[in-house]
Amino acid sequence: MADIKSPEARSKNMSAIRSVNTRPEVKIRKALFAKGYRYRLHDKKLPGKPDIVLPKYKTVIFIHGCFWHGHEGCYLYKRPAQNREFWDQKISANKKRDAEVTKALLEKKWKVLIVWECSIKGRYKLPFDDVISKIIAFIHSDKAYDEIRSSE
């Protein structure tokens, strides 16, 4: 199916998408704060500038958009039909960087949690209280790495 927008209009739309303070990120931050967890945001001293940093628990949380981070098998991730080579390279580079950042954080003995957008948004989302419970359980667990994804 052809794009209904001109390349210029599509470019303007895509460039307006924020990378920090997204709705899912703010929603999770507010819930954690309400439960008494204090955190830092986008700590530039850590690899990848994690979305949420809990220094007391040596835990970082990334809230990944399913499209931008190439969440394979997810209903929210659909490869664009237009300019496919560009998007394949972009998303592939994002996935490679994500893996490198995770590895670097784990080597520094930080615990890493990835919360996928599909777990809190869309038709297969998990109940939000369950997502927060899973995040808190991870914070207090011995796991070094985990992901929270939709129930699909």
Q: What is the spatial distance between Cα 51 and Cα 49, in angstroms, rounded to a whole number? A: 7
Q: Is residue 8 part of a domain?
A: no
Mean model confidence pLDDT for the chain = 90
In a domain, 124, yes or no: yes
Q: Is residue 44 part of a domain?
A: yes
Burial 56-92 (b: 16+ CB within 10 A, else e): eeebbbbbbbbbbbbbeebebbeeeeeeeeebeeebe
Which of 80, 79, 54, 76 shows the shortest CA–CA distance to 120? 76
Higher pLDDT, 82 or 132: 132
Closest CA to 110 of 139, 133, 69, 135: 139
Share of the chain above pLDDT 90, in %: 74
pTM for this predicted structure = 0.87
Does 141 fall in a domain?
A: yes
pLDDT digits (tens, 9 = 90+) for 117-150: 999 998 999 999 999 999 999 999 999 999 999 9
- Is residue 11 assigned to a domain? no
Read off the pLDDT of residues 46-74 as tens digits, 9 standing for 90 and up: 999 999 999 999 999 999 999 999 998 89
Question: Residues 40, 55: contact at Cβ < 8 Å?
Answer: yes
Residue 39 in domain: yes
* Per-residue tokens: 88: 């394949």
- Is 6 within the bounds of a domain? no
Q: What pLDDT score was predicted for residue 2?
A: 56
Name residues whose C-beta falls within 8 Å of residue 80's C-beta, 6 or more positions apart in sequence. 87
pLDDT number for residue 82:
84
The CATH number linked to 137 is 3.40.960.10
Does position 85 have pLDDT exceeding 60, yes or no? Answer: yes
Residue 126 lies in domain: 19-148
Domain assignment present for 83: yes
Q: Are 39 and 17 in contact (CB under 8 A)?
A: no
Instruction: Count structural domains, the chain.
Output: 1
For residues 24 and 21, the model is more confident at 24
